[in-house]
Amino acid sequence: MDGGDRVGPRRTCIGCRRTATPSELVRLARGDDGSLVIGRRHPGRGAWLHPDPACVAEAGRRRAFGRALRGDIRAAAIEAIGEEITAPTGTPEGRTDAPRARATPTDS
């Protein structure tokens, strides 16, 4: 496919166009109404992007979202997603050291 993959799967960031492993990037897909959806399981075409404001801005400037996702993406959606993926992950509250991979039996 893209060739040159020595260390597992690689994806290209639509912002800076550098390749990185999927774990370093955020996958975006297009929502029904020109919005953007974060998630690896979202069906349809995906666009990969660093969680970096510079990459978001660059991708927006070049209309890379629309190209990668084959459809118009609203500017407001890009802005919103930019804020979402670049938000610091270590928020003081709402985040614990508990491993997220482990499913909690009942969480209600």
Q: Which of 12, 16, 63, 84 binds Zn ion (CB under 5 A)?
A: 16
Closer to Zn ion by CB, 15 or 46: give it. 15
Is the CA virtual torsion 50, 88, 85, 61 positive or negative?
A: negative
Query: Which of 29, 65, 27 is closest to 48 using CA atoms?
Result: 27
**Stretch near Zn ion under the rule CB under 5 A, chosen from 5-13, 30-38, 74-82, 89-97:** 5-13
CB atoms within 10 A of CB 25: 26
CB of 76 to Zn ion, least distance (A): 21
CB of 2 to Zn ion, least distance (A): 16
Point out which residues pair with 12 in neighbouring strands: 19
Site mask, Zn ion, residues 44-83, x = CB under 5 A?
Answer: ------x----x----------------------------
Helix (H) or strand (E) segment spanning residue 55: helix 53-61
Q: CA-CA distance, 10 to 22, in Å (whole number)?
A: 6
CB of 55 to Zn ion, least distance (A): 3
Binding site for Zn ion (CB under 5 A): 13, 15-16, 50, 55
